């Protein structure tokens, strides 16, 4: 028996989420994630997550649980299921996502 891929399982979870509060808000959601990713302090990170995570509070519990499972399975980095995820690990809303310095900028630093 062949193992089931993570991508296949993630697609199944996505299909099981029925009418999430964020449905049809993809661009807006991306803007919220960009705002959070730009945060440099815990206070600004928590403030940036506010609108998106309040929307998560409107989701039925079953949808939030499936969304959390998908974030873990996909090793997601961003906002999901009422929390911040980094590489599929759940963190508090005040988590500042550390962005590595891109290789092309390493030579310019210092």
pLDDT digits (tens, 9 = 90+) for 5-25: 877 777 887 788 888 889 999
**Within a domain: 12:** yes
Of the CA atoms within 13 Å of residue 55, those in its CB half-sphere come to 17
- Tokens for 71, please give them: 């974030």
The percentage of the chain sitting over the pLDDT mark of 90, rounded to a whole number, equals 53
Given a cut of 70, is residue 71 above it in pLDDT? yes
| DSSP 8-class letter at 81 | T
**Within a domain: 57:** no
Mean pLDDT of the chain: 85
The Cα 65–Cα 45 span in angstroms is 23
| Domain carrying residue 11 | 1-26+62-76
Contact 61, 87 (CB under 8 A): no
**Within a domain: 105:** no
Residue 40: helix, strand or coil by DSSP? coil
**Within a domain: 42:** no
Residues 6+ apart with CB under 8 A from 73: 6, 9, 10, 13, 88
Given a cut of 90, is residue 63 above it in pLDDT? no
Strands 78-80 and 89-91: unpaired
What pTM does this model have? 0.78
Domain count, the chain: 1
**Within a domain: 9:** yes
**Within a domain: 10:** yes
């Amino acid at each position: 028996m062949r193992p089931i891929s993570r991508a296949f399982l993630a697609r199944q979870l996505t299909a099981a989420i029925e009418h999430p509060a964020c449905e049809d808000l993809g661009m807006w959601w991306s803007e919220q994630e960009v705002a959070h990713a730009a945060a440099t302090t815990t206070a600004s990170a928590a403030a940036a997550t506010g609108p998106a995570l309040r929307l998560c509070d409107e989701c039925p519990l079953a949808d939030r649980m499936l969304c959390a499972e998908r974030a873990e399975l996909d090793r997601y980095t961003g906002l999901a299921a009422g929390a911040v995820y980094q590489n599929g690990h759940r963190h508090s809303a005040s988590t500042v996502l550390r962005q590595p310095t891109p290789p092309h900028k390493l030579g310019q630093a210092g």
